[in-house]
Amino acid sequence: MGVLIDENTRVLVQGITGRDGSFHAASMLEYGTRIVGGVTPGKGGQDVHGLPVFDSVAEAVKATGADCSVIFVPARFATAALREAADGGIGLIVCITEGVPVLEMLGNYHYIRERGGRLIGPNCPGLITPGKSKVGIMPGHIHEPGSIGVISRSGTLTYEVVYNLSREGLGQSTCIGIGGDPVIGTGYIELLEMFEQDPQTHGVVLIGEIGGEDEEQAAEHIRRSAGKPVVAFISGRTAPPGKRMGHAGAIISGGKGTAEAKVSAFQEAGVPVADRPDQIPALMKEKLRG
């Protein structure tokens, strides 16, 4: 079953006539994603990979019944694209674009929520329900259908973890890249709650990194909820003190957001924390055995 997307999700690609939008639309189509069209203002009436291109999201939704949109536009156009998707009635908006200003995203977050939409991202690889649908840029071939949910702030690290899970026979229900920016649309706790309600998901891998306090808050939620088994990995544990690196969200302030603080929070919540990504499958199998 998975969460958020499945084989019935009808997807629009905003920015489909651009280099990245066109390339990844082809990849999503090849995977089996039900893409119903694209949107590029001023280029309505064209087609890309056999898909109709519309001038606006509203026009595309009316013609196709789309309920999800994935955004591949430059950062300077991202806010307009996000708000157009929300105004057009799109329920799930996935923003791959990076470099969107933090203050703009703060406004976008509330704008989308007020209109009943859900945002994944920005600055994220998207999400995939293996064997059914992928929305974004994740490499589909490394994923296998199964019962492990994956939530990650990192893009490429997600792929490494998924590769190891699949190799060890632990397929995935849904894998979600939430994005590495300070302001994102959907965080760990909301997704943990979704996986808790998903009968297909038996365990969750949570991938975090230095900066912010999202992982500590997720650990507290896990400690209080006593739900499905969770295994964690925190990247940046060898980052030099005082050096800013990685995602925009990977900023340590006032002694908070360190790798040590995150690892400690998870351990106190009964969540094993892997030292290396390839240790995650064994830790998950141990948790599943109870």
Known active-site residue 24: no
What's the rounded Cα separation, in Å, for the pair 140 and 280?
20
3-state helix, strand and coil shares in percent for the chain, rounded to the nearest 5: 35, 20, 40
The separation between CA 38 and the C-alpha centre of its own chain, rounded to angstroms, equals: 21
User: How many Cβ atoms sit within 10 Å of the Cβ of residue 59?
Assistant: 15
12 close to 39: Cβ distance less than 8 angstroms: yes
What's the rounded Cα separation, in Å, for the pair 220 and 43?
48
Output the six-digit token pair for 125: 């690889």
6 close to 12: Cβ distance less than 8 angstroms: no
59 close to 2: Cβ distance less than 8 angstroms: no
DSSP per-residue string spanning 216-274 = HHHHHHHHHH--S-EEEEEE-TTPPTT---SSTT---BTTBS-HHHHHHHHHHTT--EE
Closest CA to 66 of 40, 42, 93, 48: 93
- Greatest alpha-carbon span in the chain: 57
- In the set 24, 143, 202, 247, the catalytic residue is 247
Q: At what angle do helices 280-289 and 156-167 cross, to 10 degrees?
A: 60
Residues annotated catalytic, as ranges: 247
